[in-house]
Amino acid sequence: MLFLKMIKACSFHGLSKTGLILSLFFYSSLFAGEPALQKPQVYSNQENITGWVMSEKLDGIRGYWDGIRLYTRKGIPLHPPPWFIKNFPPFPLDGELWSKRGNFEFIQSVILDQTPGEGWKHITYNIFEVPNEKGDFLFRLNRARTWFESHKNTHARIIPQIRIKEKSDMEAFLKEIESMGGEGVIIKNPDMPYHTGRSPHILKVKNFQDMEGVVVGLNKGKGKYKNIMGSITIKLKNGITFKLGTGFSDKIRHTPPQPGSTVTFKYYGFTKNGIPKFASFLRMRQD
């Protein structure tokens, strides 16, 4: 219906056929919808991962390049400076917009700003997949590597992939990443063709689990947190609600996530009532 109204409006104002097409393209780009991407499952320690590849799980904002522009994992259009995406290919890429470990709030504030600022100079695009390309994983990734070898862009990088000879290789790598403040490891079956959705052939490995929930209430603190936020009440997708009171900086306690916003927290299993154990706040998500 909205497209029909646009067509009538364009005809009324004498807009050319080319202008109409460009207008419709612009309109559709604003409402592109959530892209169909790969999603990892959680490593259960039961899988045979010999021969798989591993890489660090970067704690940034996922960026999907559709051959024309960048989007978040939810399909929100991003607004990087033109120089940041200079020489990007005409084919899709999937990667992480990132700066350094433990810097998520800065990354998010820079990337989700509709007016690109100087912060983009500290952001890199770390590529871990070439969607819809034929061939196995390393063959697909090599297409991106080959492209950027002849189309230089200092902010585009290919995430190194390390072959797993035995499970102890992955365990040692995870320990190394976590010792440096990293979040975890992604392991992937390199022989699989490209596919979308949650997959048993792509696994995230961490010593804790994480989950998202929606804030439904703010609770005042006591003692040193008197007159500021002491905890937030979170509602999970399954309808369970609980209070989350640890992991917050003083800054966040003074300006807490508001009801309706989405937060990520880490936890270590569940109670018999389905409440996440030892839950601790990680970050607010806006992507």
Residues with catalytic roles: 57
Contact predicate 198/143, CB 8 Å: no
Distances (CA, A) of 9 to 32, 123, 201: 22, 41, 49
The token pair at 161 is 């992939």
Do 137 and 87 contact (CB within 8 A), yes or no? no
> Among all chains, which residue has been given the structure tokens 């005809």?
11
What are the φ and ψ backbone dihedral angles of 142, each rounded to 5 degrees? Answer: -70, -25
Q: Where are the beta strands (DSSP E) in the chain?
A: 38-42, 53-57, 61-65, 70-71, 93-98, 124-129, 156-158, 162-163, 184-188, 197-205, 209-220, 229-235, 241-244, 262-267, 280-285
